[in-house]
A and B are shown apart, each in its own frame.
Chain A
Amino acid sequence: MRDLKHLLYFENLLQEANNELIAQAKAEGKVCVAYTCENVPEPLLNLDGAFSIRLHAPHTGSMDIATYYMTNLLCEPSRALLERAIEGGFNFADCVITPDGCTMMNRCVENMELLKTMGEGNPKFFHEYMEIAFKNSETDVKLSVLQCTNHVLKPLHEKYGIDVSDAAIRKAVEEHNKLCRLIRAIGEFRKGDKPRITGYEFHVLTLATYVCPSYLVIDKLEETLEELKTREPDDKPWRARVLLVGSEVDDSGFVKLIEECGAFVCCDRFCFGSYPGRVEIALNDEEDALTQVCRHYIQHCHCPRMMSMDKVYGRKQYVADLAKEYGAEGIIYQQVKFCDPWAYERTLGSAMLQHDFGYPVLSVDRPYNIASAGGQMRTRVQAFVESIEIKKIQKEGGKA
């Protein structure tokens, strides 16, 4: 296929946490709200006058100092973020809001706070920690509303004068939904035998919406959507279609590696992916917007720390539904090394998707920066692709 017009532009935006669009938004006088977990309702961080940036640490190499502070058994993303913060890579942030979602990310941000890695010269700078919901219930919605009020809206209003009214939240949700519609529409081109966008390209675009001020990428996403409508797909078929599931993937190189092995990543269900993070939030006029946003995040949350059994089973059903919708022939359950929640979720998910839903599953752990162990991963994925091909041949009654 011909290269997407803006792909290089988006790829360049992902090379540094402190990208050019952050500088542009800050020059416009906006407040940069940094966050570290998908469980923080994003529209609340994108109220008028503020913009959200999900922290990531591209091209991470050594994590020596962070390893001193957190030891080598904490997950690599948490150490990579701390290392980058210590290096001064996140000095653009005006505050950090993080939920006590998983212990390791919480400890990462606590270390950032204690080491005073950010906020130098900004007396308004703050860190906030939130409790987040565990279950899908109205009690949890109430908890979430209270937490968002006390740890997101109040400090943003009191420190930076951000308008946190119902009208402001509705406006932010509208903009968020616009972004989601664009990503969803672009993602639709992954369906069918001849996809017009690769999993890698899609991940680059999606990732940019998390790590850049989203309002500044909308125009280029719209152009990309138009471009895709007439893009000529490749004739050469992919060897297999896979759904990529698991913990956070903010390294597009991982998706690229999978596709280089011949497996088309037809759908993404992971932290930093388009499912569930880029699903529109439906608002009605009867109830306040904050409650509805919180409810949306609870109902659509597929983070393994949601502990009720309807969520435990629901997460696997969700993966199976996506696999069916996008025509996946296999599922890659991946987990970033030393991540406790996904260690268990990967085990249970792999077993259930294989035994209860009948999908071939590759279950792997991986480093944060795939470049550090690309060879091993490539071997695993190649073997998986071959096994899917063999299954296909056997199914068609042919001889392998």
Chain B
Amino acid sequence: MMKKLLKLPLILLGIALGFFVVTFTVYFFNLDMKATALLAPLLEKWYDSREHDQYI
């Protein structure tokens, strides 16, 4: 039991470290925006395909 309790901070630290490494990599290499830029043309097609009730 004690061993498990002692491991918990290490596990949490590992998770935090993993979270940091992954998110910092995404952050620093701008992977979030690069992925978004790939998605944008598809979304544009979607919006273009929608019919709009144009009215003045």
Contacts and interface: CB of A to CB of B under 8 A. Distances in A.
Chain A partners chain B:
yes
Interface of A: 347-348, 351-352
Nearest to A347: B56
Contacts of A347: 56
A352 B55 CA distance: 11
Interface string B24-56: 000000000000000000000000000000001
A299 B56 CA distance: 26
A347 B56 CA distance: 8
B43 to A, nearest CB: 30
Nearest to B56: A351
Contacts of A348: 56
4 contacts: A347-B56, A348-B56, A351-B56, A352-B56
A352 B56 CA distance: 8
B48 to A, nearest CB: 24
A351 B54 CA distance: 12
Interface residues of B, number: 1
Identify whether the interface residues of A are mostly helix, strand, loop, or mixed.
helix
4 closest cross-chain pairs (CB), A and B? A351-B56, A348-B56, A347-B56, A352-B56
A20 to B, nearest CB: 47
Contacts of B56: 347-348, 351-352
B1 to A, nearest CB: 75
Contacts of A351: 56
A119 B56 CA distance: 47
A31 B56 CA distance: 47
A241 B32 CA distance: 63
Nearest to A348: B56
A251 B56 CA distance: 31
A384 to B, nearest CB: 20
Nearest to B55: A351
A351 to B, nearest CB: 4
B2 to A, nearest CB: 77
B53 to A, nearest CB: 14
Contacts of A352: 56
Nearest to A355: B56
A348 B56 CA distance: 7
A294 to B, nearest CB: 33
A291 B56 CA distance: 37
A351 B56 CA distance: 7
B31 to A, nearest CB: 43
Interface string B4-20: 00000000000000000
A355 to B, nearest CB: 8
A348 to B, nearest CB: 6
A189 to B, nearest CB: 36
Nearest to A350: B56
